[in-house]
């Protein structure tokens, strides 16, 4: 087990088999519930840099292409509805009275592609987004689960934001979702 050297390195933990050198990536992610059935969603790592250049050693423990599998340990939680007084001083006897800022914690473990969505994860960053449906997170039944890791890899390796398309002098990105991706691949 090898922990990442830096906070912004991928993955958080690398497991390396001592016998054959096989590597498994484990990234730890968290998201909060927005309803009983939905969550804000995870950001599942970059779709540029090491994801596209599978031999790159920048911001990654081992080159992406050396990992046999990529897993996400997801933490889904609810925000505490009651206001927490962060300045109040408690005695050790009051420990059970202290409200946590989060509650209803659930853990999921899935291969990254199985919970990925076909949209970026946050704002204008170049990160892969996840499904926001908690059942799909639990069951690993996101949009790419039915198409496989090859489609997931191809989709995100060639995905372009508007700015990336502009730099390449394209009027717009070739696709913005899985439906447009399949139409683009047919052309």
Of 141, 114, 117, 152, nearest to 41 by C-alpha is: 117
Helix (H, G, I), strand (E, B) or coil at 29: strand
Average pLDDT over residues 77-93: 86
The domains located in the chain, with CATH, are 2-147 (3.40.600.10)
Q: For residue 86, what pLDDT is reported?
A: 80
- Catalytic machinery residues: 12, 27, 29
Average pLDDT over residues 144-150: 97
Cβ-contact 146, 117 below 8 angstroms:
no
Beta bridge partners of 6: none
Q: What percent of the chain has pLDDT over 70?
A: 99
């Amino acid at each position: 087990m090898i922990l990442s050297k830096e906070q912004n390195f991928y993955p958080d933990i690398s497991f390396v088999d001592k016998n054959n050198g096989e590597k498994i990536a484990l990234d730890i992610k968290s998201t909060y519930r927005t309803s009983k059935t939905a969550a804000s969603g995870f950001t599942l790592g970059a779709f540029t840099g090491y994801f596209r250049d599978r031999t790159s050693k920048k911001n990654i423990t081992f080159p992406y292409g050396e990992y046999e599998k990529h897993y996400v340990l997801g933490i889904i939680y609810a925000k505490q509805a009651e206001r927490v007084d962060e300045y109040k001083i408690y005695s050790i006897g009051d420990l059970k009275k202290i409200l946590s800022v989060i509650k209803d914690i659930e853990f999921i473990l899935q291969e990254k592609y199985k919970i990925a969505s076909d949209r970026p994860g946050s704002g204008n960053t170049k990160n892969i987004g996840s499904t926001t449906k908690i059942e799909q997170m639990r069951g690993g039944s996101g949009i790419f689960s039915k198409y496989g890791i090859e489609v997931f890899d191809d989709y995100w390796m060639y995905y372009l934001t508007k700015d990336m398309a502009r730099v390449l002098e394209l009027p717009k990105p070739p696709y913005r979702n899985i439906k447009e991706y399949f139409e683009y691949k047919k052309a």
